[in-house]
Structure 1
Amino acid sequence: MIGSWAETARLLPWSGPEGKPCYLVGDGTGYLSRVADTIESVQLGMSAELLDHAADMLDDSNVTSAQLRFLVARMAEALCDVHRIAESRGARLPAPAYDDPDDTDGRESGP
């Protein structure tokens, strides 16, 4: 019984009280799944914008240490978001189709 819900549980792109992870159990087609998809999209977009901003700041010889610290703090937050998205999406990937547990690259071995 526990295995069946775990296979359909989705790690959501936000945390609950005290920073605990939030999960959604379902088929991925409901309203909350669409909200989660939208938030993930926004988070990924913000991460890309931060990367562009970082590149601009690194080219600027007048940037202050306070500005760099602020940028690094925002980038750390964005990295946490992207890591959570990757973990959530990776957990929802189908299991590999190969039979040999030692064959991790998915190719058949043979002569």
Structure 2
Amino acid sequence: MMPHNELRLLPWSGPDGKPCFLSTGGTGGTLSRLADRTEAAQLDVAVELLEHAQEVLADESSPPEELRLVASDLTDALRDALRVAASRGHRLPTPGTSDHGDSNEAPYLPAGAFG
């Protein structure tokens, strides 16, 4: 669980393109749940886009415009996936600060942390 003094990187940017952060207090409020659902949707889109990109690349007759569109969409999906990875990585417990007592114990992550 995230300490209350930590900020969570949200899976969207502000109007000026700067990162948005949320101080949740570790309670899993409405905005935190919305961020979880948004991250899951972004990762689902990335999986679907990867499958589509593989099909386009396998078709030697794909026009250059379609290849550019796929490359642009993949760039957006990669940006989103990297933001999700950074946000989730930042929320991992630091070794030696486990609330479970044994600092040699692997960190506990709920299944939802893996999308």
**Fold match by TM threshold 0.5:** yes
Q: TM-score, normalised by structure 2?
A: 0.77
Equivalent residue letter for 1:96: P
- Residue 80 of structure 2 is matched in structure 1 by 81
RMSD: 1.8
What is the aligned counterpart of 2:22 among 5, 21, 24? 24
Out of 8, 11, 26, the position equivalent to 2:9 is 11
TM-score by length of 1: 0.80
Q: CA deviation at 1:28?
A: 4.6
- The alpha-carbon distance between structure 1 residues 66 and 78, as it changes in their structure 2 partners (threshold 3 A), is same
Aligned position for 1:101? none
Instruction: In structure 1, give the amino acid aligned to 2:57.
Output: L
Q: Which runs of 5+ in 2 are unaligned?
A: 98-103, 105-115
User: 1:17 is paired with a residue of what secondary structure?
Assistant: coil
Q: Which has the larger radius of gyration?
A: 1
Following the alignment from structure 1 to structure 2, what is the Cα–Cα distance between the partners of residues 28 and 35?
A: 13
Poorly superposed stretches of 4+, deviation over 3 Å: none
**1:56-67 map, 5 Å:** 56-67=55-66
What does the per-residue CA deviation read over 1:53-96, in whole Å, with 9 as the maximum and x for residues that have no partner? 01111111210111000000000000000000000001000001
Paired residue type of 1:71: V
How many corresponding residue pairs? 95
Q: In structure 1, give the amino acid aligned to 2:8.
A: R
1:97 positional shift? 2.4
How many percent identity over aligned positions?
Answer: 46
CA gap 1:66/1:93 in 2 versus in 1, 3 angstroms: same
More helix by share: 1
